[in-house]
Amino acid sequence: MAEHERKLASGAERIDFQTSPEAYRHWKLSVDGDIASLAMDVDENGGLFEGYQLKLNSYDLGVDIELFDALQRLRFEYPSVKTVLLRSGKDRVFCAGANIRMLAGSSHAHKVNFCKFTNETRNYIEDASENSGQKFICVVNGTAAGGGYELALTADHIMLVDDGTAAVSLPEVPLLAVLPGTGGLTRVVDKRKVRRDHADVFCTIEEGIKGRRARDWRLVDELVPQSRMQDVVAERAKELAAGSTRQGPAEGIKLTPLNRAFSDDGVSYDLVSVEIDRAQRVATITIKGPEQSPPADADAMVAQGAAFWPLQVARELDDAILHLRNNEFEIGTWIFKTAGEGDRVAAYDTFLDSHKGHWLAHEVLHFFKRVLKRIDVSSRTIVAMIEPGSCFAGALAELAFAADRTYMLIGQFEGDNRPEAALMLTPANFGPYPMGNGLTRLETRFYGEPEKPGELAARQGEKFEGDVAEELGLVTYGLDDIDWADEVRVFLEERASFSPDSLTGLEANLRFPGPETMETKIFARLTAWQNWIFQRPNAVGEEGALRRYGTGQKPVYDMRRV
């Protein structure tokens, strides 16, 4: 167990995903009208853990946490920003990629979670471009290696300084015996459409590719002399802003700090609570439905700001998921529950659907989509328990459809006077929250019955009780009060007895039937291989490449192909 993981296990250290621009150590965010600049200027002594320095704009999870926060603020706090410049705050280096000392000293679990969060943050840049008209230009002023080039690959336009030394590279294979696993390989061939043989050359040379060849091979879009870089960047930023579909006011809403309290057995927010049963290795995540009706109009929604119920739920749930993923490795099963009135949840879905042309409603819809996607790719058993008093309707019903199994009570518990459990479909279940495969969760659920989602769409607004929900295929099991406790107990005990590794492989392979997309490739194919390769002695053994990088000693490989 790595040192930082021992601290996590003892409660002495916790990775926190909440930050704000005034607390940034590694990024500088500035906004001038419809153009923003996000400059990477990593504090080499500001690593998340001890034992390494973040030299040459290399990064660790702490750097990416700040980047994620900045991207969220650009969408919610600066709705008028149409172009974002990704650039370096250091001379002659853009980013050297993930810090090698950090990777070499990290536990396997931390490496995989780090790569996953990096994947998600990179994808959010592309989501902002595709869905919010916020276009990105990456200005590569020197070396962009490994994860540094992968960050550049997320941009809509890559500019490389033409000075004879600046280069882009994915050197993980020749230098570190690992894959460019956070999306590099996929984006090179799928997004930038680099020819396969060119990509093979590019990904197997240490020094990378510079100048005209980088442009001709489509690794970058434009070469610019250093003397003209500032003027050309300004021109391109204006061009992209002019073509942007983003239409927002000069000022957005403030993403105020979350109100939360951590304890030894969970964390509580205003609308989300997490209760951990360490003996069973189970976390129960309960989401409170809205207590009030939706605001009267879009202006009232803006006035509520970060307290607007769907946005507040999304932020709290996102933080809870990241906390569990990165600080509670042994909690292998997440149970989702809800509490409240389904009609009010449905009313918020209707409100968001009718105001989806408004910039804030639009951003809230896409944020909740990204939170659900984060759940989809979490390597935990996901369970939904639909009980009396719950509000699995519309957007919150998506949690049930994201689950590996869903249990629903038929009738009521003895002595319980809460309303009988019901599940309700709304417009939220038929489009606004697609999975990484491009399908809705209902389309994915009924992949072998393509007519079923259309039939269910005709029944929006109905309240399906347990026996009907099971008959319609919306839940795995409908159980009465007599069977409920035993069935749930046996399932949880069985799940806790299985190998976590085999469960991770099982769940990841079952969750994404249907089309393969760039996103599913990144999370399913490359992340799975990276997960495996990060355990191989050739990479992480005492004589492996990650351990020996920078020591002057050559790695020793087991040369058998497996």
Query: How far apart, in whole angstroms, are the C-alpha atoms of residue 151 and residue 63?
Result: 12
The closest of 154, 153, 149 to 209, measured between CA atoms, is 149
Query: How far apart, in whole angstroms, are the C-alpha atoms of residue 8 and residue 122?
Result: 26
Query: Which amino acid, residue 58?
Result: S
Residue at which a domain ends, from 242, 269, 301: 242
Task: Please check the confidence at residue 531 and state whether its pLDDT lies above 90.
Answer: no
Q: What is the dihedral of CA 87, 91, 97, 98, to 10 degrees?
A: -100
What pLDDT does 64 receive?
98
How remote is the C-alpha of 193 from its chain's centroid? 24
Domain presence at residue 99: yes
Pair 208, 319 in one domain: no
Residue at which a domain ends, from 213, 242, 271: 242
| 507 C-beta neighbours (distance < 10 Å), count | 17
CA dist 128 to 183, 241, 259, 521, 555, Å?
17, 13, 27, 20, 41
Domain presence at residue 546: no
Domain that holds residue 170: 16-242
Q: Are 540 and 103 in contact (CB under 8 A)?
A: no
Task: Please check the confidence at residue 339 and state whether its pLDDT lies above 80.
Answer: yes
Pair 198, 238 in one domain: yes
pLDDT range class, residue 509, cuts 50, 70, 90: confident
Pair 111, 226 in one domain: yes
Task: Please check the confidence at residue 12 and state whether its pLDDT lies above 50.
Answer: no
Least confident of 210-224, 266-280, 286-300, 506-520: 506-520
Least confident of 175-184, 216-225, 317-326, 414-423: 175-184
Pair 299, 150 in one domain: no
Pair 351, 234 in one domain: no
Tokens linked to 381: 């058993």
What pLDDT does 6 receive?
46
How high does pLDDT run on average in the chain? 94
Pair 217, 271 in one domain: no
Residue 191 belongs to a domain with what CATH number? Answer: 3.90.226.10
Domain presence at residue 308: yes
Tens-digit pLDDT profile for residues 26-37: 999 999 999 999
Supply the DSSP symbol for 330. Answer: T
Domain presence at residue 360: yes
Domain presence at residue 29: yes
Domain count, the chain: 2
Output the pTM of the full model. Answer: 0.95
Tens-digit pLDDT profile for residues 85-136: 999 999 999 999 999 999 988 888 898 899 999 999 999 999 999 999 999 9
Domain presence at residue 533: no
Query: How far apart, in whole angstroms, are the C-alpha atoms of residue 82 and residue 73?
Result: 13
Question: Would the CA dihedral through 477, 481, 486, 491 be positive or negative?
Answer: positive
Work out the average pLDDT over 170-179. 91
Domain presence at residue 364: yes
Work out the average pLDDT over 181-189. 87
What pLDDT does 10 receive?
38
Bridging pattern class, strands 222-224 and 157-161 = parallel
Work out the average pLDDT over 385-403. 98
pLDDT range class, residue 180, cuts 50, 70, 90: confident
What pLDDT does 406 receive?
98
Residues found in the chain: 562
Tokens linked to 339: 């509490």
Residue at which a domain ends, from 509, 524, 554: 509
Query: How far apart, in whole angstroms, are the C-alpha atoms of residue 547 and residue 541?
Result: 7
Pair 267, 238 in one domain: no
Pair 235, 291 in one domain: no
- The residue among 254 and 112 whose pLDDT is bigger is 254
The closest of 320, 349, 353 to 337, measured between CA atoms, is 320
HSE of 35, CA atoms in CB hemisphere, 13 A: 16
Pair 232, 284 in one domain: no
Query: How far apart, in whole angstroms, are the C-alpha atoms of residue 287 and residue 338?
Result: 5
Q: What is the dihedral of CA 244, 248, 253, 257, to 10 degrees?
A: -10
- The residue among 184 and 428 whose pLDDT is bigger is 428
What pLDDT does 1 receive?
42
Task: Please check the confidence at residue 424 and state whether its pLDDT lies above 60.
Answer: yes
Residue 390's SS3 state is coil
Task: Please check the confidence at residue 5 and state whether its pLDDT lies above 80.
Answer: no
Q: What angle do CA 530, 533, 537 make, to 5 degrees?
A: 155
What pLDDT does 467 receive?
95
Least confident of 51-65, 123-137, 206-220, 502-516: 502-516
Pair 85, 231 in one domain: yes
Domain presence at residue 390: yes
Pair 237, 300 in one domain: no
pLDDT range class, residue 532, cuts 50, 70, 90: confident
What pLDDT does 530 receive?
74
The closest of 553, 551, 528, 555 to 541, measured between CA atoms, is 555
Pair 227, 276 in one domain: no
